[in-house]
Structure 1
Amino acid sequence: MTQAATLFDPPAPLAERMRPRSVAEVVGQTHLLGPGKPLTRVLASGRLGSLILWGPPGVGKTTLARLLAGEVGAHFIPLSAVSAGVKDIREATAEAERLKGRGTRTILFLDEIHRFNKAQQDALLPHVESGLLTLIGATTENPSFEVNPALRSRARTLVLEALTPEDLLALLRRALSDTRGLPGTEVQPEALDLLARLADGDARRALSTLEVAATLSDPVTPESVTEAFGRHLPSMDKGGEDFYNLISALHKSVRGSHPDAALYWLARMVAGGADPLYVARRVVRMAAEDIGLADPQALRLCLAAKDTVEFLGSPEGDLALAQAVVYLALAPKSNSVYTAWKAALQATEGENLAVPTHLRNAPTQLMRQQGYGKGYAYYFDDPQGSFEQRYLPEGVDLHLYSPRGEGWEGRASERWRKLMALHGGVTPDADTDLQEQTEPS
């Protein structure tokens, strides 16, 4: 008979009590554990190599590592990279050496492996390579960025997915019927559905919230779930893959002229703790890269938003960012200058061509005697001659800038065509017909 928990001996949290006891009890991750899938084949062979389990919080990385060790009959040493160091690795290695003499293999589980620095990760290499330690690392960060290539090459990376609402509902119902969980607790169906949605794919969060909600009302209602859940800030690994994915989504939503999506991704970043000034700098770049001369005011507005963020800070300055992002999403788009600038930089690679003599600066008598500035046609004195003279180095013929035909740039495209004709340039119809195709009649 199990001894009842007391004030001084409280029960383990519900999420801990409900950990799967076998691989068969694992919910989700069917792409790894379904029939014929990678982990299923590994377990069938009994040969478990080093792994890196990459996935969001609360999807079962630690649980899966424990279960895999049990399935292959290996000794399991759990460490957290938050607190462990090289000394702990040495101790684990010594223990693995002792067990190897008895015919027992050792699995070293390293939670949050991305927190180990290069030297600490390197300390693992020889023991993983020799097979003394089978490493299972768990991380919420992209291993491509956070795990040394040498260690990554010795371990297979498996991606764990966030649990679906259906997966979470199955876990919650199991917790309400299992003797380890909360048997007899009544939960309204709509409360269970709400909890499965709010948990955002995180089993630990779903079970922990259920446990708190059960203390707030009987039966558990949507209101008690909301109260137990509290205010959930979107997760974001500042400086990691999630962070740059959010920046990418914001930029692409602005470029795609979708103000609602742009506001959503901006809010995700700000609520997740991103530096507003960094976001402001990226917004200024969007104005230069994707709006350009289609709306020359966009850059000014974004610089003003950046100044507002610096002056007011957050949260007051966040509204200026939102204003800038909506403006950019609604603005006409042109990357003509961005494209032309990249082409200009490419055109200068490996070259140091002389400036034509008539374009050279001639501040001294000696320079003028050498012909600097001779024959230069000053536009305001000789417009015709100004257009006839050469402005690029001898032998260089470039066509870098071409207006895309939206907004201000579209209105200026007719002047561009005339200037190119005067300079003897080419004006492809494909680059100048966009306005006629996109503007309503």
Structure 2
Amino acid sequence: MESDALFSLGEPAGAPSAPAGSLGVDGFTAVGEDSPLPVRMRPRSIDELVGQDHLLAPGAPLRQLVSATAPMSVILWGPPGSGKTTIAHLVARATDRRFVAMSALTAGVKDVRAVIETARRQRRSGGPQTVLFIDEVHRFSKTQQDSLLAAVEDRTVTLLAATTENPYFSVISPLLSRCVLLTLQPLDDAAVRGLLRRAVADERGLGGALTLETEAEDHLVRLAAGDVRKALTALEAAAASATALGAGRIDLATAEQAVDVAAVRYDRAGDAHYDVTSAFIKSMRGSDVDAALHWLARMLVAGEDARFIARRLVIFASEDVGMADPTALGVATATAHAVEYVGLPEVQLNLAQAVIHLATAPKSNSATTAIGAAVADVRAGRGGPVPRGLRDAHYAGAKGLGHGTGYRYPHDDQRGVVTQQYAPDDLVGADYYRPTPHGAERAVATRLPLLRRIVRGLPAPAPPAEVPAPPATGGAVGDGRRQTETGGDDAARESGSDAAGEGQQ
């Protein structure tokens, strides 16, 4: 069970400790002198909590939960180190309610039903109300979560559940609807810094035996990334190193030895996974190559499967770059092959190259919108039989059915394209693909109208009406001026087109 940390800046020192491994009055393992520093520094009342100010106002659900002024079931959702288990400790110690703690990692339906049955018997006999704390509730299966519904509904138990995953994805809707959802946030740097200083001075912490230098403190705050447990664990490790060296202070070098990897808010199976992936894709789509590389690094450091990243790049190459840079798909596909052929850590170089290519490439979603429109028509029932000339004529009897009759072979025409109906009758003239003027697709946008005109047998557009020339005032000079003005307009239009294309890349 995790040891979350909503910690106190003003907790009284000198609290008595219990033997290691024994149970405290709240049903959790009692705090001893050899308990981890984050456990020793846990607050004893809600007024001593630091962080989560949005949940600590008078009358707020969190205060009602701790004081038992209103019997409500609650789901605590927040990242590691934000205070979920600490709140459970406060609930367990604040009232005379019977408190039962279990972890979804080890408990099953049988354990849950046993707690509920005992709570029901005690309730009938006038005994205390039961609070059931379930840590990591997102790891319960649907069946296990279903087993809680009736007891939560009739308040046989008051459920207190903790999860690091988005409950809208990981908790079944019937259970979620029976609970109040409280969202906890990572502590900010100021709160983490204050708690580090408190731990250095407090008798339950280092008791002032060592001093923490500013640079070392900054290092611990930065690497904790809002996870107080990580900050205090690193402080404890650094203090042990300093004590072993006979030093009276914790300097930057000692702190760096204690922890050298920042806490990364990422879970390959959780909500942060989807958020980081979304930011990664949107940064490439927005052509912010530096942000895209950051999110790539975030995924790599967190241990994301490189094959997953490569698959996203292959999809992005067609979804968002497409015909504006047809080489993008080749780059992404080659990167996917490199992931299988090379592997980590070296393949991060190939991934970075692909991300740079895709982020800086001109963008076009024409392939995405084209197939989307075509699929929509098919699902709507538009279409019809395959035109007779396009049907397979290679098997015996096909010609007798008229298959292939009238088909024109495009390569017989010197242009390589002929007038012929390829679409079913219902969709003749439907334009799905709409090229953009970005990158390499600009040339396709110029060629496509001519191809459609020939294939559909449409007449060439009428040439624009000639504008009478103004009276010549200087003979050849006047003609030359008109040519220059026309050329300048054409150049301006071409320049404007280029600028528009580049501006939207």
Give the drift of 1:59: 0.7
Secondary structure at the aligned position of 1:190 is classed as helix
Q: What residue in structure 1 maps to residue 294 of structure 2?
A: 264
1:52–1:157 Cα contact (<8 Å) kept? yes
Q: In 1, distance between residues paired with 2:53 and 2:284?
A: 36
Q: In 1, distance between residues paired with 2:415 and 2:396?
A: 28
Return closer, same or farther for 1:11/1:439 CA change in 2, 3 Å cut-off.
closer
Aligned length: 433
| Residue from 128, 132, 135 that aligns with 1:108 | 132
Q: What residue in structure 2 maps to residue 224 of structure 1?
A: 254
Q: What residue in structure 1 maps to residue 307 of structure 2?
A: 277
2:217 is the alignment partner of 1:192: yes
Secondary structure at the aligned position of 1:407 is classed as coil
Identity %: 43
Q: In 2, distance between residues paired with 1:221 and 1:325?
A: 39
Pair member with larger Rg? 2
Q: What residue in structure 1 maps to residue 368 of structure 2?
A: 338
Give per-residue Cα distances to partners, 1:225-282, cap 9 Å, x unaligned: 2211233463532222222222212111111112222122112212212221222111
Q: What residue in structure 2 maps to residue 173 of structure 1?
A: 197
| Segment of structure 1 superposing worse, 41-50 or 245-254 | 41-50
Q: In 1, distance between residues paired with 2:97 and 2:395?
A: 85
1:377–1:386 Cα contact (<8 Å) kept? no
| Residue from 209, 217, 239 that aligns with 2:269 | 239
Letter in 1 for 2:388: T
Give per-residue Cα distances to partners, 1:203-238, cap 9 Å, x unaligned: 111111112212223212222222112334635322
Q: What residue in structure 2 maps to residue 430 of structure 1?
A: none
Gaps of 5+ in 1: 428-432
Q: In 2, distance between residues paired with 1:434 and 1:289?
A: 23
Q: In 2, distance between residues paired with 1:235 and 1:127?
A: 34
Q: In 2, distance between residues paired with 1:206 and 1:216?
A: 15
If the length of structure 1 is used for normalisation, what is the TM-score? 0.89
Give the drift of 1:337: 1.0
2:446 is the alignment partner of 1:414: yes
Give the drift of 1:438: 3.4
Q: How does 1:34-433 map to 2 (within 5 A)?
A: 34-35=57-58, 37-40=60-63, 46-71=69-94, 73-100=96-123, 101-184=125-208, 185-217=210-242, 218-232=248-262, 234-349=264-379, 350-351=381-382, 353-363=384-394, 366-382=397-413, 387-396=418-427, 397-422=429-454, 423=456, 424=458
Give the drift of 1:131: 0.7
Q: What residue in structure 1 maps to residue 9 of structure 2?
A: none
Give per-residue Cα distances to partners, 1:272-300, cap 9 Å, x unaligned: 12221222111111111111111111111
Return closer, same or farther for 1:276/1:384 CA change in 2, 3 Å cut-off.
closer
Return closer, same or farther for 1:233/1:68 CA change in 2, 3 Å cut-off.
closer
2:224–2:262 Cα contact (<8 Å) kept? no
Give per-residue Cα distances to partners, 1:356-414, cap 9 Å, x unaligned: 22333333685445443333333344579965433222232411101111111113211
Q: In 1, distance between residues paired with 2:55 and 2:18?
A: 38
Q: In 1, distance between residues paired with 2:296 and 2:417?
A: 48
1:176–1:182 Cα contact (<8 Å) kept? yes
1:86–1:120 Cα contact (<8 Å) kept? yes
2:377–2:383 Cα contact (<8 Å) kept? no
2:500 is the alignment partner of 1:437: yes
| Segment of structure 1 superposing worse, 307-316 or 177-186 | 177-186
Give per-residue Cα distances to partners, 1:2-44, cap 9 Å, x unaligned: 58999xx852211111111111111111111134644346667
Give the drift of 1:436: 4.6
2:79–2:265 Cα contact (<8 Å) kept? no
Secondary structure at the aligned position of 2:34 is classed as coil
Q: In 1, distance between residues paired with 2:281 and 2:315?
A: 9
Over aligned residues, Cα RMSD in angstroms?
2.8
Give per-residue Cα distances to partners, 1:325-364, cap 9 Å, x unaligned: 1111111111101110111111111345012223333336
